Amino acid sequence: MKKRQLTPLAIITLSFLGIIVIGIFLLKLPIATQTAESLSWIDSIFISTSAVCVTGLSSIPDISITLSVFGKVVLALLIQVGGIGIVTIAIYVLIVLGIQIGVTERYVIKEALNQHSLSGVVRLVKSIIITTLIIEFFGMIINFIVFIQDFSFWKAIGLSAFHSISSFNNAGFDILGSSSIQNYSSNVLLNINTMFLIIVGGIGFIVIRDIYAKRKWSALSLYSKIVLKVTLFLIVFGALFIKIFEWDTVTWLEAIFTSVTTRTAGFSTVDMNLFSYSTLMVIMVMMFIGASPNSTGGGVKTTTLFIIFKSIVSFLNGKPAIINKRRVDDGTRQKAFTIVLLALFSIFVVFVLLSKIESNNPNYEMTFINMLFETFSAFGTVGLSMGITSYLMPVSKLMLALLMFVGRLGPITIFGIMNKNWGHHRTSTVEYPIAKIIIG
């Protein structure tokens, strides 16, 4: 009998699921809370999933008060593992131990890091771990300069480290209290440092490595240029619209910070409930787009948006999609549209079910906009909320946890598990006549 092997996509999915399960049991321990009372299973599942999927949504009103030092350390570790990826960390441990990395392991890394070939994947793993630790360390130092002014030495150290990890991994969790970082909305140093960490974590390790190696715009790869251009465009676009729509509500610093954080980080220096529907719609679009591939963020990704935009323009012009004198292949365009459609389908299904379930919620009167906002936030692994998360029914929390999982790994990874031929490109010997169907 032939032994069935797990596909790389299945291994990636199960690795994330395994870390979530470990996190659930660790957060369920009495020592994880300040009161020594265990969290409910629903809260443990939700928070562990939110941390590993680097989302930031919390079913507990204030985790800074609820979780103990042990619980906060567990939370930080879950965020770190979720951001870098358990496959990357596991391979790095094997490298440190001197264990030979075989072809099978390299193929899993290739799929986990969305690479085109097996060449250089081990070096990439080393680069990811080292880069992450260096950036988070310097981020922690800058945070410490701010927090030491308001907290004791060790408290400031803990807050600085946690905030740096949460920022770089685009998680959005903070342990500053119920007001989040809103008390620091005018602190330029903390805002700039947090935005820098979010952006660097969001552009992805491939781009970071490319910038470090080339250090010149003209020498950067086409992929890096696309990521950086789209990222800059979205930040400027978001900041302008937020400021215009909320001219008397937010400062320019708050508008820029909100534009950066909505892309998957989830920190909030302004109460989301103060925003108009127009602003919330812009934020939801930004959350849906998310960060870039091979990053710590979620969403459909910046490059997906760029490919779809180029495809639409090329169709309207009646010309092939060309980027820097290179034609975008049909497979890439098909994958981009598939990702967006699967993402919208996932959001739609969860939102419809959420609307039905929460219509009977005795604790909180849910509105259309705050449920839609919560759903987009969960899929984009953003963590921004209009304050309804802790009031949701248990079933709704589980559905959002599942949506966070789909959003973090990506619809292609989740639904691709069902494809038995994934990774095996077989050329069919049968040719079928072309079907011309009227559409549009």
Structural domain contains residue 205 = yes
Structural domain contains residue 128 = yes
Contact yes or no for 150/232 (Cβ under 8 A): no
User: What pLDDT band is residue 1 in, cutting at 50, 70 and 90?
Assistant: very low
Q: What share of the chain is helix, strand, coil (3-state, %, to 5)?
A: 65, 0, 35
Is residue 209 pLDDT above 90, yes or no? no
Query: Packing angle between helix 121-147 and helix 153-168, nearest 10 degrees?
Result: 140
pLDDT of residue 359: 86
Structural domain contains residue 344 = yes
When pLDDT is averaged across residues 207-214 and rounded to a whole number, the result is: 87
Contact yes or no for 301/332 (Cβ under 8 A): no
pLDDT of residue 176: 84
Is residue 101 pLDDT above 90, yes or no? no
Report yes or no on whether pTM surpasses 0.85.
Answer: yes
The string of pLDDT tens digits covering residues 424-436 is 555 556 777 777 6
Is residue 422 pLDDT above 60, yes or no? no
When pLDDT is averaged across residues 316-327 and rounded to a whole number, the result is: 84
Contact yes or no for 81/112 (Cβ under 8 A): no
pLDDT of residue 215: 84
Lowest mean pLDDT among 90-104, 116-130, 160-174, 344-358: 90-104
pLDDT of residue 416: 67
Structural domain contains residue 302 = yes
Is residue 421 pLDDT above 60, yes or no? no
Distances (CA, A) of 294 to 211, 312, 393: 15, 25, 34
Give the total number of structural domains in the chain: 1
Structural domain contains residue 285 = yes
The string of pLDDT tens digits covering residues 223-234 is 899 999 999 999
When pLDDT is averaged across residues 245-266 and rounded to a whole number, the result is: 91
Phi, psi of 120 (to 5 degrees): 80, 10
Contact yes or no for 302/291 (Cβ under 8 A): yes
pLDDT of residue 411: 77
Is residue 141 pLDDT above 90, yes or no? yes
When pLDDT is averaged across residues 146-166 and rounded to a whole number, the result is: 93
**Can you tell me the distance from the alpha carbon of 395 to that of 323, in angstroms, rounded to the nearest whole number?**
45
pLDDT of residue 158: 93
Local structure of residue 16 (DSSP, 8 states): H
Segments forming the whole domain that contains residue 37? 8-414
Structural domain contains residue 217 = yes
When pLDDT is averaged across residues 241-264 and rounded to a whole number, the result is: 92
pLDDT of residue 228: 93
**Can you tell me the distance from the alpha carbon of 432 to that of 436, in angstroms, rounded to the nearest whole number?**
12
**Can you tell me the distance from the alpha carbon of 257 to that of 199, in angstroms, rounded to the nearest whole number?**
11
When pLDDT is averaged across residues 167-183 and rounded to a whole number, the result is: 81
Lowest mean pLDDT among 93-102, 143-152, 287-296: 93-102
Structural domain contains residue 396 = yes
**Can you tell me the distance from the alpha carbon of 321 to that of 226, in angstroms, rounded to the nearest whole number?**
14
Q: What percent of the chain has pLDDT above 90?
A: 45
Is residue 168 pLDDT above 80, yes or no? yes
pLDDT of residue 364: 83
When pLDDT is averaged across residues 287-310 and rounded to a whole number, the result is: 88
For the chain, the average pLDDT equals 86
Structural domain contains residue 194 = yes
**Can you tell me the distance from the alpha carbon of 8 to that of 91, in angstroms, rounded to the nearest whole number?**
14
When pLDDT is averaged across residues 380-388 and rounded to a whole number, the result is: 88
Residue matched to tokens 């001197």 = 98
